[in-house]
Structure 1
Amino acid sequence: MIRTILTSLAFFISSVIFAQNQGNYIIIINNDSIRVDINNDFSYKTTSGEELTISIIQPDILTYSDDMISFSHDKSLSVSNSKIEQGIEQCMIVKSTGNGFMVQKYQTMNPSSLTQLMLNELTKESINYGYSKSEKKFKKKLKSGQIIEGIQATLKYKGEKEVYTVATYGAKDEGIIVITMLLNEDFKEDQEIIKLFLETLSIND
């Protein structure tokens, strides 16, 4: 199972997640179906002859929520979901810069013992290339009150720096692994994406 998890992790780290395109939506008013686009106005004439101007606006910050977790993210980003194997699912946002985050959700085991293993898998390619690595403990209280604990690793090589964080929260036969990756500090907006995620992450008990 561990091999399957790590293989899936490596695959998704190398993937590029593109921003969600605005699609068409259907709004129903008094049984009338009208196809509309987000952030565009449209007119609707009522049965009494009154003409209304209606807008559908998407907020700048969206909320992702499922049975286990919730967090906020910028509307320009989409959450990628996948099933790794029975009882293990993953959601993530990783930009083309390599910066981003992911959450692995376990429904049949406590993943707390996987922290170091995950961190080693994330950093092994850079270590083999010649990066030096330093580690420190990581601990954060979530918006929902639980505490995630783990390790933050900083890798350095010829003026370049990568920062990986792996933290877990576990209960009986369930839990989550939280992973953040900052591979390029030149993109300040990517740091804000990770910050917003950590500040709003909640576990739905």
Structure 2
Amino acid sequence: MRMVSAAALTLIALCAGPVQAEDIKAFKLTIDGVTVDIDPGESTSMTLPGGRKSKVTLERNDFATFSGSDFSFVHPSDISVTKTDLGDDITQYLMASALGTIVVVQEYGKMNPVSLSQLMLQEMTKESVQAGAELTQQPTTRKLADGKELTGIRAQVKTRTDTADFEIVGSGVAEHGLLFITRIAEEDVATEKPLIDKFWQSLKVELQGG
């Protein structure tokens, strides 16, 4: 289980770091070989071949679809999904909001991770529990829009001042599979629950060989 613990610890480390903004335009827009740097919502003028001037505007859609090799889901377009190679044929995709709500997908290329929900929960909540937090959990089944069912754990970690809800479910076949993890603070549910709901409502799983 060494590689699995490493995956869980890497998840925790990634979620702990602050997100830093860069003073660089997010996109390059190219028309007839002329390129300008531009951010969503901005307008700029371009001089096209032949001297013709044109005003262009880049608008961002409210939502975008992120696709992995065996899954896809819809997310707010202003929240990016980062990809990390954890080694041992495990790839992690992380979406984190500014308030700390997280959605994680881990792809396992050498094993079926469905049975790892308990271990992942222990790794993610270990420090809080050691500090005196109360952990409650129960088995859960998450039914997707297409009828597929994912099994795992729903849990809550409660301290004197904070409460966080976790859901860890998986899907797999003989030698590969997917683990899905969400975390949301109870105090942020009013504003952040739509992010989690959109993920589960739009999640599609297409495991080859399954």
TM-score of the two chains, using structure 1 as the length reference: 0.84
The aligned counterpart of 2:92 is 90
The aligned counterpart of 1:23 is 26
Is 2:106–2:178's contact at 8 Å kept on the other side of the alignment?
Answer: yes
SS at match of 2:94: strand
Is 1:90–1:102's contact at 8 Å kept on the other side of the alignment?
Answer: yes
The aligned counterpart of 1:204 is 206
SS at match of 1:7: helix
Q: Kindly, what percent of the aligned residue pairs are identical?
A: 25
Is 2:9–2:123's contact at 8 Å kept on the other side of the alignment?
Answer: no
Bigger mean CA offset, 102-111 vs 190-199: 190-199
| Residue 70 to residue 17, structure 1, CA distance change in 2 (3 Å) | farther
Listed as ranges, the matches of 1:35-50 within 5 Å are 35-37=36-38, 38-43=40-45
Is 2:36–2:46's contact at 8 Å kept on the other side of the alignment?
Answer: no
| Residue 47 to residue 88, structure 1, CA distance change in 2 (3 Å) | closer
CA distance in 2, matches of 1:154, 1:94: 19
Bigger mean CA offset, 36-45 vs 142-151: 36-45
SS at match of 2:187: coil
Is 2:134–2:159's contact at 8 Å kept on the other side of the alignment?
Answer: yes
Which 5+ residue runs of structure 1 have no aligned equivalent?
A: none
TM-score of the two chains, using structure 2 as the length reference: 0.83
The aligned counterpart of 1:128 is 130
Which 5+ residue runs of structure 2 have no aligned equivalent?
A: none
SS at match of 1:186: helix
Structure 1 vs Structure 2 CA RMSD:
2.6
Q: What whole-Å deviation, never above 9, does each CA across 1:114-159 have from its counterpart, x for those lacking one? A: 1111111111111112122221222112245422111111122335
The aligned counterpart of 2:176 is 174
Alpha-carbon offset, residue 51 of structure 1:
6.4
The aligned counterpart of 1:112 is 114
Bigger mean CA offset, 187-196 vs 110-119: 187-196
Alpha-carbon offset, residue 76 of structure 1:
2.0
Alpha-carbon offset, residue 204 of structure 1:
3.2
Is 1:88–1:106's contact at 8 Å kept on the other side of the alignment?
Answer: yes
SS at match of 2:188: coil
Aligned length: 203
The aligned counterpart of 2:159 is 157
